[in-house]
Amino acid sequence: MIMDKLELENDFEHLIDDRIHVLNHCDTFAIINRWGDITPNGNQVQGLYHRDTRFVHCLQWSINGKPFDLLSSTLTEENETLSIDLCNPPLLLQDELKLPGGTIHVHRNQLVKNGVFHEQLHIKNFWDHPTTCILTLDLRSDFADIFEVRGAKRRQRGTKQTITTNKQNHITIPYLGLDQVLRRAIIHFATPFTDFLDNHLVQFNLYLESKQTLSIEYAIHFEEDNRVSQPIESYKQAHDFLTPGLRNKNAYFPIVETSNEQFNHWISRSQADLVSLMADTPFGKYPYAGVPWYNTAFGRDGLITAWQTLWLAPELSRNVLLFLASRQATTSDPTNDAEPGKILHETRNGEMVALNEVPFKNYYGTIDATPLFIMLAGAYYERSADDETLQQLWPNIRLALEWIDTYGDQDGDGFVEYHHQATNGLTNQGWKDSYDAISHANGDLAKSPIALCEIQGYIYAAKKYGSKLASVLGDKALAYQLSEQALSLKKAFNAHFWDDDLNCYILALDGNKNPCRVKSSNAGQVLFTGIAYPHLASRMVKTLFKPDFFCGWGIRTLSTEEKRYNPMSYHNGSVWPHDVSLIAEGFARYGFTKEAACLTTGLFDASLFIPLQRLPELFCGFERRHGEGPTAYPVACSPQAWSVSAVFLLLKSILRITIKPAQRSIYFEHPYLPPYLNSITIKNLWLSNRQKADLEIIRHDKSHASIRWYNQPKDWKLVLQK
């Protein structure tokens, strides 16, 4: 989202591998290769990260100076541990005795608990003779800021301090940053090591009887001088603490099961990934955006993730709203694009942020988080009837509404535009925020201030929801004013943004109010907010299903007919699962439920080719090829919150379900199940207070579905429109 020695080392070059594993918990994550190692060459992203600093950039085990052979590695279903099985290559021992390959087995278990990386090794000799071997851990720290890892160049860096050891079980690697923060990687070995060589090689001399097993266990603590150190604990203690929370997905979600086992795995994987991204805040859980680049709180991402899961897990929406309300801007500050009422774009830690080399400590350079905040607040109230939270949030909602008219629409033309002020801030401030995302038909980049099409839809929906909330709170004058403003915006939008020749809403208006006559997926999100006229919405649906947009997996971010189309680009032709889910919800809103099901099928099919069935941040927009999966985008975040949550909004779009506690009703409006889903069961669906229900949706034919209602709460009704 930003920014225009030893022969031993050579033996590891064959371990360079793009297939990596991710472990994450709150502010800490690990990017590890299939051997369980972190290699400093090849894929430079690998490492152990904490609070936007890579504390460790090399972690490699060897046996007698040689890398292990890989047997297998597996990430557990709930993401809590990585399990790796290795064995020795053929080795020459003393007196020219040869140790056959596949004789020494090493089983590695790794996990991350906030601020600590834990590893446990079990080494077993399957040879029929006793043997000796040397296990060496190559451990190095670069303390690179995450923006450095992403490619930012720095004129200066802090200094590495003297590495210290204590009693062969404790190593401290310190780094004093230019921000005068002392960061330390502190390694505690439960098993004393034999030697520590060259300030980075930890050596264990092992003697193994035939069939004997020995264990090595250690933990790496990531500490900053202004943060409380984590207590020393064993691997088992850390595992026993971490596992229940990650495995208890149903503490956050109801149980959703279908007749299709592969679809069930997609749902289960998505739930596990989302739970693993949830960080604790004073206001409850907040979904961090994604690993590796966005392992922090983002406003837009958190709001959309909450929206995607609102119908199933409204408590997450409440937590997101309260967290963002606490960070709402109250003053103008051009250095971080802040204005009164604006909702946070992202918050960061790390050395470069502390030194203002990047403006992201608390950064507000987003045009959509503020209206999305109002939209989610309104939708949350409809889903929960939570008067207490509405009263608490109302001052923030009012301030956000004032921001729209005061700062969002600075030229008074009725449309909301963006123009960045912060040095090194984001030039484009919609969800497509890469520098080249907004252009004209000839490929020229649009000049700011820019009014994006989907943003006008967000503003429309925000004012509609604001009107409803004002009415609930008794402010009839404000309710009427906001309603009239929404109607006026809808009329003006459809007059200025619809293009008959393109059969599509244009991408944007540039700073001179010239139309960016470009066909983009942004126009699909217009349907999500309801600002499109119905007859134009039907034309949009047809446009989006033409081959230039629909690649077989989903909707491309840019039509293949456009000058800047590139299926391998970040925003100009790729496919983003969250974008597809919002478009599907828009289709369903206008009654195109079967078309929403087609998008659901596309992403479901894509998931079957993707490791773990974990939909990444994005993938390339090449046309679907028979028998092949989608082409990966090389540096996409995975897991990414709004990508793994896409399945939940897709389900909502085909079920057409609305839960209204104020009316004590559940509505299904022409639900449609595709042929591979004969039934969907939802158990422990939260309705209100302590009331829950179980539902079963059953497919009967090409166009009809029935609903079975179990343990129906008193006074609640189910309404099915066929």
What is the per-residue pLDDT across 530-561, written as a single tens digit (0 to 9) for each?
Answer: 999 999 999 999 999 999 999 999 999 999 99
| pTM listed for this prediction | 0.92
What would the pLDDT profile of 663-695 be if each residue is shown by its tens digit?
A: 999 999 999 999 999 999 999 999 988 789 999
Confidence of residue 424 (pLDDT cuts 50, 70, 90): confident
> Of the candidates 302, 315, 322, which has an alpha carbon nearest to the alpha carbon of residue 251?
315
| Tally of residues, the chain | 722
What residues does 105 pair with on adjacent strands?
Answer: 87, 124
pLDDT for 701 equals 81
Distance CA 160, CA 185 (A): 11
**Across 8-22, 493-507, 612-626, 700-714, least confident range:** 8-22
| Cβ(323)–Cβ(306) below 8 Å | no
Mean pLDDT of the chain: 92
Residue 363 has pLDDT above 80, yes or no: yes
Beta strands in 332-397 (DSSP E): 346-347, 362-363
Distance CA 577, CA 119 (A): 34
What class is the 366-419+429-534 domain?
mainly alpha
Higher-confidence position of 343 and 635: 343
Domain ranges of the chain: 7-244, 366-419+429-534
> Of the candidates 336, 404, 118, 141, which has an alpha carbon nearest to the alpha carbon of residue 238?
118
What class is the 7-244 domain?
mainly beta
Distance CA 244, CA 14 (A): 37
Q: Is the dihedral of CA 494, 496, 501, 503 positive or negative?
A: negative
CA angle 544, 549, 550 (to 5 degrees): 85
Confidence of residue 246 (pLDDT cuts 50, 70, 90): low
What would the pLDDT profile of 152-206 be if each residue is shown by its tens digit?
A: 889 899 999 999 998 889 999 999 999 999 999 999 999 899 999 999 999 999 9
Asked whether the domain spanning 366-419+429-534 has the same topology as the one spanning 7-244, the reply is: no
Q: Which residue has the tokens 């990508």?
A: 643
Residue 17 has pLDDT above 50, yes or no: no
Percent of the chain with pLDDT over 90: 81
Nearby residues of 476 by Cβ (< 8 Å), 6 or more positions away: 470
pLDDT for 18 equals 53
Q: At what angle do helices 646-655 and 261-277 cross, to 10 degrees?
A: 130
Residue 10 has pLDDT above 60, yes or no: no
What would the pLDDT profile of 285-297 be if each residue is shown by its tens digit?
A: 999 999 888 999 9
Amino acid at 573: G
